[in-house]
Structure 1
């Protein structure tokens, strides 16, 4: 076959998406939806937050947060189908790193108040506040300058 059965795809996708978003884990469900039932291949439908939930709705307004949801889906698909990543450098712009999530959330709120899309990512035992990710170093450098002009201590890092 092409890969794992649908339940395994679902488990992998669920796990990878939850790694990059801070939504409450509402579990995995099955349903007899037309878009799932009438396909000739394994199919999954993901729900990524709810606009009638104030907390979710706020997160869904952030393009950086939506980008992280997309990254979770891409990571899940890559893992489910055993795909290897192409070595594309991403230049990420960070404005802070904290041991306490509340401090990172506070800085992210300050950045958003000044018009930046801020995302808090937990990595390497720290809550990091990221305001952008680019394949172009020039674009990352431009954002660093904008952030510095707005009073933030910004720098570029690569993963």
Structure 2
């Protein structure tokens, strides 16, 4: 009987230490925005009064980000708080307490149809976005945008 209790306790302990999928998603959105801005984990940590190791833990979802810290992250990364929940898979946002309905009505945006979330994490995409925003002349930036759209196949 004692062995069964130990095994059950270990299984429970393992479940408790596994990051929540929502924490992992929010952390990946922090990493995405930080990377798009070309900001290091160290610089983000300095802006928040944290070590880069703490930023790493947030980005991996190992440590949960509290409301006030999420607010600070949104301010430093210049995005609305809702950004961190954008593109969350439907199953992740479902709340069984309200009939399994997705929490989309509470500021969570729907994922864009036909857009693979993995595309946002490719180095090529991040470099392209950084280069695009380094173009200081709005008219030139608009022309580059129109050029890229014209080269893509019609939807």
Whether the TM-score (by the shorter chain) exceeds 0.5 is no
So what's the TM-score if we normalise by structure 1? Answer: 0.24
Quick check: which has more Rg, 1 or 2?
Answer: 2
Structure with the higher helix share, 1 or 2: 2
So what's the TM-score if we normalise by structure 2? Answer: 0.25
